[in-house]
Chains A and B, each alone.
Chain A
Amino acid sequence: MIEVSHLTKQYGENYAVNDISFEVNDGEILGFLGPNGAGKSTTMNIITGYLSSNTGTVKIAGVDVLDNPVEAKKHIGFLPELPPLYLDMTVREYLNFVYNLKGCKLPRDAHLSEICDLVKITGVYDRMIKNLSKGYRQRVGIAQALVGNPDVLILDEPTVGLDPKQIIEIRTLIKHLGKKHTVILSSHILPEVQSVCERIIIINKGIIVADGTTADLSNKISADHRVIIRVAGPEEPIKKALSGITGVKSVESLGIREAGSFDFQVEAEPGRDVRKPIFNLMADRRWPILSLDSGEMTLEDIFLKLTSEDVVNRIKRKRRKEASKPAYKKNNDFEHIIDEKDLDSENVDDASSGSDAKKEADEK
């Protein structure tokens, strides 16, 4: 549905977007994730034809956005970061204007009222947009993108500035829309992308640092084997007991986080599940386990990791190397991304646990 290849956008010396390529299939909900200023909006603006790229092409349903903008734009519904609303119009006037602007052929009244029901703005249909709250404005913005039933919906941070209830409603709405439309959604909120999207592209400093389904990313994580437990009891004996369990490689005391208990980080040998033995042992000794957490890297960790300077620089280096290689040896664009190395805990710049040094020694 959408083909983006080798997109680059330069502002002077700075790259807002640096050689980005990806494809989005029919009916996919793609999450575009990145910290502020990562190039999400720029990419979306280029896809919709609002900005032009310096190099690279964007094809929507096989139509090049630059060569045939009018045709390509017919396939797109776009909600920019700030909804493009004319404040001096009523919702009715505005949606009718958008309907005319897009040269929509669907039956007008039925189509518009269907959209209004969908995004729940029927109640404010005859109010001036300038009198609407932010949440409603956002919905009118989404309604605007839906006019004409475009194949592709591009939503730039659709839930920004909404209250939690509205956020949940909008997310449900987007999921619902994903059944009929191809959706690209950008966000810097991880759980949002996680809950709505089937596929995630993480972008930082104009470079794609990860591209995969939510499941893909989780699979990479499950290779990790740490457990964090909180036990009520004496510190040293517990530590000693934990170390005695077969399969446990090391135990790190994390100190007191809740009165009367101690936290420990238990590192297991690869492929071993030590949770049951830990439970049995603690039960035998009558030291109640207050919590047991698999210290897996969450998407949050991956995100932080992947959006750190290191990864970006490494990908850049890799690209330079590839560029000097003969063409047939080049990797597929989509492969680069998460290799085990990125996810190894030794690389996590997580100083808080204070256990990095030890782990480094343990691994490899």
Chain B
Amino acid sequence: MTAILKREFQSYFTSAIGYVFLGVFYFFAALFFVSSNLAANTTSTSTFFTTLILTFVVLIPVLTMRLMCEEKKQRTEQLLLTSPVSLFGMVMGKFLAALSVFAMGLASVVLFSLTMAAFVSIDGAVILGNLVGLLLLASALISIGIFISSLTESQIISAVGSIFVILVLYLIGSFSSSVTNKIIAAILSALSVSSRYTNFSMGIFNLGDAVYYLSIAAIFIFLTVRVLEKRRWS
């Protein structure tokens, strides 16, 4: 697993993808930080974080679009699948590689917080909670992206598919207000990725939200393993 993690991580930076991801991430993070904190003259980070997670709709698929489908296309999966590594280890290696690159992007947020902390006192717990929340959210989105990438051989389809699914999960909460049936409305808003994040952005650590993100990650990693498993049988 560590071999795959290391290779994937390196490959983000031998190709342009790692740099593009980080560049775009840093750009928007800096933009939102300036507009919602510096210009607004406030230490409240909730606007900053709730706008930041919008960029993930596009940025996470950039990280994951290549992960599985490129192996299939280049036939390198034959090496991975015939080497003494479990399918789970293989998927986890890729998952963690993507998460590490994401964490590098997140490091900029730490930097912004420190900048603020140099001038005013900030609520460190809220920012820490947000960082944890973002990592959990990213885990969920990355595992979805990996799953979709394992379904196709084309990076484009993989990217567009992931963007579509993630966008639906973001917007699903806002549909719930227009649904009259109470039960369906409750289900829809419970499924919403973005409204789940509201608690984190306000500095509230709700176990339910954490479990929600982790279970999405677990389900889609499991499904990816099943897809690889199934391919052997078809």
A-side residues, CB < 8 A to B, are 45, 48-52, 69-71, 73-74, 76, 78, 80, 82, 84-89, 93, 97-98, 100-103, 144
Contact = CB atoms under 8 A, between A and B. Distances in A.
What secondary structure prevails in chain B residues at the interface with A?
A: helix
A334 B203 CA distance: 72
Contacts of A52: 232-233
A102 B84 contact: yes
B82 A50 contact: yes
Contacts of A78: 78-79, 82
A101 B76 contact: no
Nearest to A75: B84
Of A74, A84, A102, which is in contact with the most chain B CB atoms at under 10 Å from its CB?
A: A84
Contacts of A70: 84-86
Nearest to A76: B82
Contact of B7 (A76, A82, A97): A97
B82 A71 contact: no
Contacts of A82: 75, 78
Interface stretch (B10-18, B122-130, B155-163): B10-18
B83 interface: yes
A86 B82 contact: no
B14 to A, nearest CB: 5
A84 B2 contact: no
Contact of B10 (A76, A93, A103): A93
A100 B76 contact: no
B141 interface: no
A86 B7 contact: yes
A89 B78 CA distance: 17
Interface string B1-38: 01110110011001100000000000000000000000
Contacts of A73: 82-84
A55 to B, nearest CB: 12
Interface string B77-121: 111111111100000000000000000000000000000000000
Contacts of A93: 10
Contact of B78 (A50, A88, A97, A100): A50
A207 B76 CA distance: 29
Contacts of B83: 73, 98, 101-102
Contacts of B82: 48-50, 73, 76, 78, 80
B8 to A, nearest CB: 10
B3 A97 contact: yes
B78 A84 contact: yes
10 closest A-B pairs (Cβ-Cβ)? A100-B3, A84-B79, A101-B3, A84-B76, A73-B84, A48-B82, A52-B232, A80-B78, A74-B84, A70-B84
Contact of B2 (A69, A76, A100): A100
B76 A85 contact: yes
Given A51-B232, A100-B3, A102-B83, A86 B78 contact: no
B77 to A, nearest CB: 8
Given A69-B86, A86-B7, A87-B74, 16 more contacts: A70-B85, A74-B84, A78-B78, A78-B82, A80-B78, A80-B82, A84-B77, A84-B78, A85-B74, A86-B11, A88-B14, A89-B11, A89-B14, A100-B2, A101-B80, A102-B83
Contacts of B11: 86, 88-89
A153 to B, nearest CB: 12
Contacts of B77: 84
30 contacts: A49-B81, A49-B82, A49-B232, A50-B78, A50-B232, A51-B232, A52-B233, A70-B84, A70-B85, A73-B83, A73-B84, A74-B84, A78-B79, A78-B82, A80-B82, A82-B75, A82-B78, A84-B76, A86-B11, A87-B74, A88-B11, A88-B15, A89-B11, A89-B14, A93-B10, A97-B3, A100-B3, A101-B3, A101-B83, A102-B84
Contacts of A69: 84, 86
Contacts of A103: 84
A75 to B, nearest CB: 9
A82 B81 CA distance: 14
Nearest to A156: B78
Nearest to B83: A101
Contacts of A101: 3-4, 79-80, 83, 85
Contacts of B74: 84-87
Interface string B151-179: 00000000000000000000000000000
B79 A98 contact: yes
B3, B76, B83, B232 pick with most chain A CB within 10 angstroms: B83
B69 to A, nearest CB: 14
Contacts of B4: 101
A84 B75 contact: yes
A70 B81 CA distance: 10
